[in-house]
Amino acid sequence: MKERLARLEAVRKLIKTYRIESQDALLGRLQEEGFAVTQATLSRDLKFLKVGKISDGQNGYAYTLPDTETQESDRIYDFLRGYVSIEWSGNMVVIKTYSGHTDSVALALDDMRLKEVLGTIAGRDNTVFVCLREGVSGKDFLNHIKEQIPELEL
């Protein structure tokens, strides 16, 4: 998972920094950054990041990332749509979800990159386990997530 997150961040950085017109060009840049990635994996990464192509106003098209507000609202919507309840004990949090929403809720949390979160595990059907960093309580986590998602009702 670390490799994937690092690769996704590298893709974001490369698209923001360079005018990239094709997957081949992006693959080359990723290889220069030390990532060994296949065309199929890169295609999945681009889809996950919701990368699009827009006219560069000259004679071609270049990759672009969706605006941050859209990404943030998508994360918040995925979380709000899927969660049922949040409970904790010490630095362990359990988020109950509607059936089939564990992946989207866990991914939304991962995408928020909350510094309090050490990691998430999405259960098969309706439970997400969140492990918090040492010294962070469930209450701290809840306060921070309420700052991120004011619409969250508990």
Type of residue numbered 3: E
pLDDT at 1 over 60: no
Q: How confident is the model at residue 33 (pLDDT cuts 50, 70, 90)?
A: very high
Residue 78, helix vs strand vs coil: helix
Retrieve residue 138's tokens: 């469930």
When pLDDT is averaged across residues 112-119 and rounded to a whole number, the result is 90
Query: Which pLDDT belongs to residue 95?
Result: 96
Task: Specify whether the CB–CB gap between 120 and 94 falls below 8 A.
Answer: no
Residue 38 to residue 117: CA distance in whole angstroms: 30
Domain ranges across the chain? 2-64, 69-148
Averaged pLDDT score across all residues of the chain = 87
Residues 80-103 have pLDDT tens digits of 888 999 999 999 999 999 998 999
Residues of the chain by 3-state class (helix, strand, coil), percent to 5? 45, 20, 30
The second-level CATH assignment, the architecture, of 69-148 is 2-Layer Sandwich (3.30)
The second-level CATH assignment, the architecture, of 2-64 is Orthogonal Bundle (1.10)
Q: How confident is the model at residue 56 (pLDDT cuts 50, 70, 90)?
A: low
Neighbours of 109 (CB within 10 A): 25
User: Do 69-148 and 2-64 fall under one CATH topology?
Assistant: no
pLDDT at 58 over 90: no
Type of residue numbered 115: K
pLDDT at 120 over 60: yes
When pLDDT is averaged across residues 111-136 and rounded to a whole number, the result is 92
Query: Which pLDDT belongs to residue 72?
Result: 62
